[in-house]
Protein backbone atom coordinates (compact mmCIF):
# COMPACT_ATOMS: atom_id res chain seq x y z
CA UNK A 1 0.00 0.00 0.00
CA UNK A 2 2.72 2.43 0.98
CA UNK A 3 4.81 1.90 -2.13
CA UNK A 4 1.83 1.94 -4.50
CA UNK A 5 0.32 5.19 -3.25
CA UNK A 6 3.59 6.94 -2.40
CA UNK A 7 4.91 6.60 -5.96
CA UNK A 8 1.65 7.89 -7.45
CA UNK A 9 0.94 10.70 -5.00
CA UNK A 10 4.35 11.91 -3.84
CA UNK A 11 7.41 10.53 -5.62
CA UNK A 12 6.54 11.70 -9.14
CA UNK A 13 6.36 15.41 -8.34
CA UNK A 14 9.08 15.27 -5.68
CA UNK A 15 11.56 14.44 -8.43
CA UNK A 16 10.47 17.64 -10.19
CA UNK A 17 10.97 19.65 -6.99
CA UNK A 18 14.47 18.26 -6.59
CA UNK A 19 15.31 19.01 -10.21
CA UNK A 20 14.22 22.64 -9.92
CA UNK A 21 16.10 23.13 -6.68
CA UNK A 22 19.31 21.48 -7.88
CA UNK A 23 19.22 23.52 -11.09
CA UNK A 24 19.55 26.59 -8.87
CA UNK A 25 22.78 25.20 -7.39
CA UNK A 26 26.11 26.28 -8.82
CA UNK A 27 29.04 23.97 -9.46
CA UNK A 28 30.41 22.27 -6.32
CA UNK A 29 27.52 23.42 -4.11
CA UNK A 30 27.29 21.78 -0.68
CA UNK A 31 23.65 20.98 0.18
CA UNK A 32 21.95 19.96 3.41
CA UNK A 33 18.91 17.84 2.47
CA UNK A 34 16.61 17.46 5.48
CA UNK A 35 14.10 14.61 5.18
CA UNK A 36 15.77 12.71 2.36
CA UNK A 37 13.65 9.59 2.98
CA UNK A 38 14.56 6.66 0.77
CA UNK A 39 16.28 8.97 -1.72
CA UNK A 40 14.39 7.68 -4.75
CA UNK A 41 13.39 11.14 -5.98
CA UNK A 42 16.84 12.62 -5.37
CA UNK A 43 18.60 9.74 -7.12
CA UNK A 44 16.54 10.28 -10.26
CA UNK A 45 18.37 13.61 -10.60
CA UNK A 46 21.70 11.79 -10.49
CA UNK A 47 22.93 13.09 -13.83
CA UNK A 48 22.49 16.68 -12.69
CA UNK A 49 24.21 15.96 -9.37
CA UNK A 50 27.23 14.49 -11.16
CA UNK A 51 27.41 17.21 -13.82
CA UNK A 52 27.51 19.96 -11.18
CA UNK A 53 29.64 17.95 -8.77
CA UNK A 54 27.21 18.58 -5.93
CA UNK A 55 27.88 17.27 -2.43
CA UNK A 56 24.69 16.45 -0.54
CA UNK A 57 24.37 15.54 3.11
CA UNK A 58 21.01 13.78 3.42
CA UNK A 59 19.33 13.63 6.83
CA UNK A 60 16.47 11.49 8.11
CA UNK A 61 15.35 9.96 11.40
CA UNK A 62 13.99 6.71 9.94
CA UNK A 63 16.71 4.08 9.91
CA UNK A 64 14.84 1.86 7.44
CA UNK A 65 14.56 4.78 5.00
CA UNK A 66 18.26 5.54 5.38
CA UNK A 67 19.16 1.92 4.62
CA UNK A 68 16.97 1.95 1.52
CA UNK A 69 18.43 5.32 0.55
CA UNK A 70 21.97 3.96 0.82
CA UNK A 71 21.04 1.19 -1.61
CA UNK A 72 19.49 3.68 -4.04
CA UNK A 73 22.62 5.83 -3.86
CA UNK A 74 24.77 2.80 -4.68
CA UNK A 75 22.55 1.77 -7.62
CA UNK A 76 22.80 5.25 -9.14
CA UNK A 77 26.55 5.60 -8.58
CA UNK A 78 26.20 8.58 -6.26
CA UNK A 79 28.42 7.37 -3.40
CA UNK A 80 30.87 10.22 -3.99
CA UNK A 81 28.14 12.86 -3.98
CA UNK A 82 25.57 11.90 -1.34
CA UNK A 83 26.37 11.25 2.30
CA UNK A 84 23.73 10.06 4.77
CA UNK A 85 23.38 11.15 8.38
CA UNK A 86 20.87 10.16 11.03
CA UNK A 87 19.06 13.15 12.51
CA UNK A 88 20.60 12.61 15.92
CA UNK A 89 24.09 13.02 14.42
CA UNK A 90 23.37 16.13 12.35
CA UNK A 91 25.08 18.58 14.70
CA UNK A 92 28.42 16.96 13.99
CA UNK A 93 28.05 17.70 10.27
CA UNK A 94 27.36 21.41 10.69
CA UNK A 95 30.89 22.45 11.65
CA UNK A 96 31.28 23.78 8.10
CA UNK A 97 28.57 25.98 6.62
CA UNK A 98 26.45 24.55 3.82
CA UNK A 99 25.78 26.58 0.69
CA UNK A 100 22.10 25.64 0.75
CA UNK A 101 19.58 23.76 2.86
CA UNK A 102 16.49 22.09 1.39
CA UNK A 103 13.34 20.52 2.82
CA UNK A 104 11.32 18.76 0.15
CA UNK A 105 7.88 17.64 1.37
CA UNK A 106 9.26 17.26 4.88
CA UNK A 107 8.17 20.52 6.55
CA UNK A 108 4.62 19.37 7.27
CA UNK A 109 5.60 15.94 8.62
CA UNK A 110 8.36 16.96 11.05
CA UNK A 111 7.14 17.29 14.63
CA UNK A 112 10.06 19.38 15.90
CA UNK A 113 10.03 21.69 12.89
CA UNK A 114 11.16 24.75 14.90
CA UNK A 115 14.38 22.99 15.95
CA UNK A 116 14.95 21.63 12.46
CA UNK A 117 14.56 25.02 10.78
CA UNK A 118 16.84 26.57 13.37
CA UNK A 119 19.54 24.08 12.39
CA UNK A 120 18.86 24.54 8.67
CA UNK A 121 19.02 28.34 8.75
CA UNK A 122 22.06 28.49 11.02
CA UNK A 123 23.91 25.90 8.94
CA UNK A 124 23.86 27.90 5.70
CA UNK A 125 26.20 30.67 4.65
CA UNK A 126 23.39 33.12 3.86
CA UNK A 127 21.19 32.17 6.82
CA UNK A 128 18.38 30.94 4.59
CA UNK A 129 16.85 27.63 3.56
CA UNK A 130 14.47 26.43 0.86
CA UNK A 131 11.29 24.51 1.59
CA UNK A 132 8.88 22.89 -0.86
CA UNK A 133 5.41 21.92 0.34
CA UNK A 134 1.72 21.80 -0.49
CA UNK A 135 -0.12 24.99 0.46
CA UNK A 136 -3.87 25.56 0.42
CA UNK A 137 -5.86 28.78 0.01
CA UNK A 138 -8.49 28.28 2.71
CA UNK A 139 -8.64 26.62 6.12
CA UNK A 140 -10.77 23.47 6.35
CA UNK A 141 -11.19 21.42 9.51
CA UNK A 142 -12.46 18.46 7.48
CA UNK A 143 -9.54 18.48 5.03
CA UNK A 144 -7.13 19.02 7.90
CA UNK A 145 -8.50 15.97 9.70
CA UNK A 146 -8.47 13.81 6.56
CA UNK A 147 -4.92 14.76 5.56
CA UNK A 148 -3.52 14.10 9.01
CA UNK A 149 -5.14 10.66 9.21
CA UNK A 150 -4.38 9.41 5.69
CA UNK A 151 -1.29 7.71 7.11
CA UNK A 152 -3.51 5.03 8.64
CA UNK A 153 -4.85 4.18 5.18
CA UNK A 154 -1.90 4.81 2.87
CA UNK A 155 0.91 3.70 5.16
CA UNK A 156 2.87 6.97 5.11
CA UNK A 157 2.46 10.40 6.67
CA UNK A 158 0.94 12.97 4.30
CA UNK A 159 1.68 15.77 6.76
CA UNK A 160 -0.38 18.63 8.09
CA UNK A 161 -2.90 20.70 6.14
CA UNK A 162 -1.23 24.10 5.81
CA UNK A 163 -2.60 27.30 4.25
CA UNK A 164 -0.56 30.23 2.97
CA UNK A 165 -1.57 32.35 5.94
CA UNK A 166 -1.03 29.64 8.56
CA UNK A 167 2.48 29.01 7.23
CA UNK A 168 3.28 32.71 7.52
CA UNK A 169 2.00 32.72 11.10
CA UNK A 170 4.03 29.61 11.98
CA UNK A 171 7.22 31.04 10.54
CA UNK A 172 6.73 34.40 12.24
CA UNK A 173 6.44 32.65 15.61
CA UNK A 174 9.81 31.03 14.86
CA UNK A 175 11.35 34.40 14.00
CA UNK A 176 11.38 33.54 10.28
CA UNK A 177 9.85 35.08 7.18
CA UNK A 178 9.14 34.14 3.58
CA UNK A 179 11.67 35.79 1.26
CA UNK A 180 10.47 34.34 -2.04
CA UNK A 181 7.57 32.07 -2.99
CA UNK A 182 6.73 30.48 -6.33
CA UNK A 183 4.31 27.86 -7.57
CA UNK A 184 6.41 24.87 -8.61
CA UNK A 185 3.85 22.31 -9.72
CA UNK A 186 0.55 20.64 -8.92
CA UNK A 187 0.11 17.23 -7.34
CA UNK A 188 -2.40 15.51 -9.58
CA UNK A 189 -3.65 11.95 -9.76
CA UNK A 190 -5.91 10.75 -12.59
CA UNK A 191 -6.54 14.32 -13.66
CA UNK A 192 -7.57 15.53 -10.21
CA UNK A 193 -5.47 18.31 -8.65
CA UNK A 194 -4.82 17.27 -5.05
CA UNK A 195 -2.72 20.28 -4.10
CA UNK A 196 -0.52 23.07 -5.41
CA UNK A 197 3.14 22.75 -4.46
CA UNK A 198 5.15 25.87 -3.69
CA UNK A 199 8.86 26.42 -3.24
CA UNK A 200 9.84 29.09 -0.72
CA UNK A 201 13.06 30.62 0.47
CA UNK A 202 12.88 31.52 4.15
CA UNK A 203 15.17 33.32 6.55
CA UNK A 204 15.27 35.27 9.83
CA UNK A 205 12.91 38.24 10.16
CA UNK A 206 15.73 40.58 11.10
CA UNK A 207 17.54 40.09 7.78
pLDDT digits (tens, 9 = 90+) for 98-153: 999 999 888 988 888 998 999 899 999 999 999 999 899 999 999 888 878 866 76
How many other C-beta atoms are found inside a 10 Å radius of the C-beta of residue 167? Answer: 22
Q: Are 56 and 33 in contact (CB under 8 A)?
A: yes
Domains of the chain: 2-204 (3.40.50.150)
Q: Are 203 and 127 in contact (CB under 8 A)?
A: yes
Question: SS in 3 state form for 39-107?
Answer: CHHHHCCHHHHHHCCCEEEEEECCHHHHHHHHHHHHHCCCCCCEEEEEHHHHHHHCCCCECEEEEECCH
pLDDT at 12 over 70: no
Q: How far apart are CA 107 and CA 162, in angstroms?
A: 10
- The rounded mean pLDDT for the chain is 87
Burial of 20 (C-beta count, 10 Å sphere; 0-12/13-18/19+):
middle
* Choice between 158 and 193, residue whose per-residue pLDDT is larger: 158
pLDDT of 38-96, one tens digit each? 898 899 999 999 999 999 999 999 898 899 999 999 999 999 999 999 988 876 666 67
pLDDT of the residue at 147: 77
Q: What is the pTM of this model?
A: 0.86
pLDDT of the residue at 195: 80
Amino acid sequence: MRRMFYDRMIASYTELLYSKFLLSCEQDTRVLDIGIGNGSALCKTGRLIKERNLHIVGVDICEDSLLECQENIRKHGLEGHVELVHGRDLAGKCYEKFDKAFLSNSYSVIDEIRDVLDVAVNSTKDGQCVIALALFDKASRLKEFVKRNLKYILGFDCGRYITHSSLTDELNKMGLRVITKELSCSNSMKGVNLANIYTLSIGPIQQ
